[in-house]
Amino acid sequence: MKSLAPLALLLASPAAAQPVASFDWFQYRGEDPVDRAHQPGPGEYRNPILQGFYPDPGVTRVGSDFYLVTSTFGYFPGIPVFHSRDLVSWTQIGNAIDRPEQLDFKQLGLSRGVFAPTIQAKAGTFYILNTCVDCGGNFVISAKNPAGPWSDPVWLPDLEGGIDPSLFFDADGKTWILNNGPPEGAPEYQGHRAIWIQQFDLKTLKTIGPRTVLVNGGVDFSKKPIWIEGPHILKKDGWYYLSCAEGGTAEGHSQVILRSKTVTGPYEANPDNPILTQRDLPRDRANPITSAGHAQLVTTPDGKWWATFLAVRPYQGDFYSTGRETFLMPVRWENGWPRITDPGQAIPWTHARPALPPQPASPVPTNGGFAVRDDFDEAKLPAYWMMLRNPRTSWFALADGSVQLQARPVGLGDKGNPSFLARRQQHANAAAETVVRFTPEKDGDRAGIAVFQNDDYWFFLGLKQVAGKLVVALDRREGPDAAAAGETIAAVDAASFGIAPGKPLALRIEVQGNRYAFSYARLLGSPDTPMLAWRPLTRLTTDALTTKVAGGFIGSTFGIFAGSGE
């Protein structure tokens, strides 16, 4: 049986007097109906290549190696870095923002923070460009090894007011930086933006020379296009191609392409834009993939073209809790222009693999139906675990084969850095389970499992002291006008089924689309092979943990949490 050993990390903190919760293990599992309906055959891969909250993919190739980064907004550590040799099997090798002093997410809304990173490399150095929205602006970090460590940010003040920076290395040795920014003069409509270019000095990591507008508004200004963003330049057959997202990141999302004979323009738009979208498909189609865009093109070593991009898998309508995910499709060239999807073409769930040597499956599955169990036996957490914003103190530790969390007076709804460790929800139909041991000291002390969309929308299931009694409680916050601490919507006396303070309690949250079930159990049998006698606490139906209701750009996460009363 696992015990609460002394925690050197926690005892070094001024808040060390708070009670400590111990979590023996954490298991996530999920499988959607489409996973069985669309099984990849020999020589095929499955979309999305990264399920769950992995939006805004930026990709690059160095030799035979591909590297990919995605947005994490206000989560820490931020900007996961993935590696692959076949564009299909991806392994996370690190996080680019993994030191609290690199960036400060303050108490920003969780959909602020780091947006749309890009990764590129030249002469043995890797560069990630990004925007810390409301927390510093645009910046570049660098590393010799993409697994890290990455440098502290170098800020790019010339890009003030912009987002989505990327680099282009021209054959003449010049480097250019692109970004989305405000248009020249006052915006003429909501969502009116521009794409800018400026020369960049790789030695000093500074912008130099004049800034030039490449695209004003979008490919057809007369139609008042919104949110031209995510710019990338590539060069082929003497042409500079400018690839951008357009239409916002909801169902109107798309990818457009323009070209020019000179890097600074003028650029002409492809007459057959967009080159990628799903907005022209029937909304009532079965198993839809929607909101596709924010693509980046990359070549394989044999010169074939592919694109990574974001899209979503709603469980109905425009409702999804899994966030925006990373997809892969081939790119073909026709009449001097690239194309990813034809008009009216649905993104395929499976497709022929790139003509690259297939790589072993990632040790942590990234798509399809799967289960992942964390026994917390290693010296550090796996790279896919995250917390809300930067930690200010040390409040968790790995000890005795468990994760131990300090129950601090920072709640899930406080827009702070609570004692909450989370991993992504990667399926519409999913479940998360854990075992917690906790001895509260005062009313309001609590520890257990949570499913979390943002600070305003979440559920917590766990042990809690109420009026001097230990109960198993389900707390909910549903909206910014609700109490930050949430409200208890179901509870049972822990002693009524044999759970005393410090004894192990199993907890489970299940979701199928918008239907949630919350259960608890005693551990029976031996500690090594326990049996769980699950008891339902409650079931409910809600769309509150979706982007459509909660807003923002993130997906739901499951995790473990400990908090204390005031």
CA dist list (Å): 346 to 41, 100, 278, 339: 19, 42, 7, 14
The last residue of a domain, from among 327, 352, 377: 352
Q: Do 329 and 425 lie in a common domain? A: no
Q: Do 342 and 407 lie in a common domain? A: no
Reading the chain (566 residues) residue by residue, the pLDDT tens digits are 333 333 334 433 434 578 999 999 999 999 999 999 999 999 999 999 999 999 999 999 999 999 999 999 999 999 999 999 999 999 999 999 999 999 999 999 999 999 999 999 999 999 999 999 999 999 999 999 999 999 999 999 999 999 999 999 999 999 999 999 999 999 999 999 999 999 999 999 999 999 999 999 999 999 999 999 999 999 999 999 999 999 999 999 999 999 999 999 999 999 999 999 999 999 999 999 999 999 999 999 999 999 999 999 999 999 999 999 999 999 999 999 999 999 999 999 999 999 999 999 999 999 999 999 999 999 999 999 999 999 999 999 999 999 999 999 999 999 999 999 999 999 999 999 999 999 999 999 999 999 999 999 999 999 999 999 999 999 999 999 999 999 999 999 999 988 999 999 999 999 999 999 999 999 876 656 666 789 999 999 999 999 999 999 999 999 999 999 97
- Structurally, the chain folds into a number of domains equal to 2
Q: Do 348 and 420 lie in a common domain? A: no
Tell me whether residue 56 is one of the annotated catalytic residues: yes
Q: Do 416 and 319 lie in a common domain? A: no
Q: Do 330 and 449 lie in a common domain? A: no
Of 229, 455, 456, 478, catalytic: 229
Pair of tokens at residue 290: 């929607």
Q: What is the CATH number of the domain that holds 318?
A: 2.115.10.20
Whether the Cβ atoms of residue 554 and residue 112 lie closer than 8 Å to each other: no
Pair of tokens at residue 440: 């509260």
Q: Is residue 2 part of a domain?
A: no
Alpha carbons 200 and 184: distance in angstroms, whole number: 21
The reported pTM is 0.95
HSE-CB of 503 using CA atoms within 13 angstroms: 14
Position 5 scores a pLDDT of: 34
Position 122 scores a pLDDT of: 97
Tell me whether residue 246 is one of the annotated catalytic residues: no
Which distant-in-sequence residues (6+ apart) come within 8 Å of 342 by Cβ? none
Of 32, 56, 164, 510, catalytic: 56
Q: E strands, 31-174, where?
A: 44-46, 58-62, 65-69, 75-76, 78-84, 91-97, 113-122, 125-133, 137-143, 154-155, 163-169
Tell me which residue of 257, 235, 234 sits closest to 246, measured CA to CA.
257
Alpha carbons 87 and 305: distance in angstroms, whole number: 11
CA dist list (Å): 515 to 16, 281, 325, 393, 458: 38, 27, 21, 36, 14
Q: Taken in order 409, 414, 418, 421, is the CA torsion positive or negative?
A: positive
Whether the Cβ atoms of residue 291 and residue 276 lie closer than 8 Å to each other: no
The DSSP letter of residue 159 is G
Q: Do 268 and 413 lie in a common domain? A: no
Position 18 scores a pLDDT of: 87
The greatest distance separating any two alpha carbons of the chain, rounded to the nearest whole angstrom, comes to: 77
Whether the Cβ atoms of residue 214 and residue 208 lie closer than 8 Å to each other: no
Tell me which residue of 301, 182, 291, 164 sits closest to 233, measured CA to CA.
164
Q: Do 409 and 554 lie in a common domain? A: yes
Tell me which residue of 540, 353, 351 sits closest to 451, measured CA to CA.
540
Q: Do 314 and 410 lie in a common domain? A: no
Q: Is residue 264 part of a domain?
A: yes
Which distant-in-sequence residues (6+ apart) come within 8 Å of 397 by Cβ? 7, 8, 9, 10, 403, 404
Q: Is residue 265 part of a domain?
A: yes
At residue 355, φ and ψ (nearest 5 deg) are -80, 65
Q: Is residue 358 part of a domain?
A: no
Position 532 scores a pLDDT of: 73
Q: Is residue 1 part of a domain?
A: no
Whether the Cβ atoms of residue 459 and residue 519 lie closer than 8 Å to each other: no
Q: What is the CATH number of the domain that holds 524?
A: 2.60.120.200
Q: Which amino acid is at 395?
A: W
Q: Is residue 205 part of a domain?
A: yes
The last residue of a domain, from among 322, 352, 382: 352
Position 150 scores a pLDDT of: 98
Q: Is residue 357 part of a domain?
A: no
Alpha carbons 158 and 162: distance in angstroms, whole number: 9
Full residue range of the structural domain in which residue 520 is found: 8-28+369-563
Q: Is residue 556 part of a domain?
A: yes
Alpha carbons 309 and 491: distance in angstroms, whole number: 43
The angle at the Cα of 193, spanning 192 to 195, to the nearest 5 degrees, equals 150
Q: Do 22 and 61 lie in a common domain? A: no
The last residue of a domain, from among 292, 327, 352: 352
Which distant-in-sequence residues (6+ apart) come within 8 Å of 459 by Cβ? 450, 451, 452, 474, 475, 476, 509, 516, 518, 545
SS percent in the chain: helix, strand, coil, step 5: 5, 50, 50
HSE-CB of 20 using CA atoms within 13 angstroms: 24
Position 527 scores a pLDDT of: 58
Q: Do 114 and 235 lie in a common domain? A: yes
Q: Do 251 and 178 lie in a common domain? A: yes
Q: Do 146 and 249 lie in a common domain? A: yes
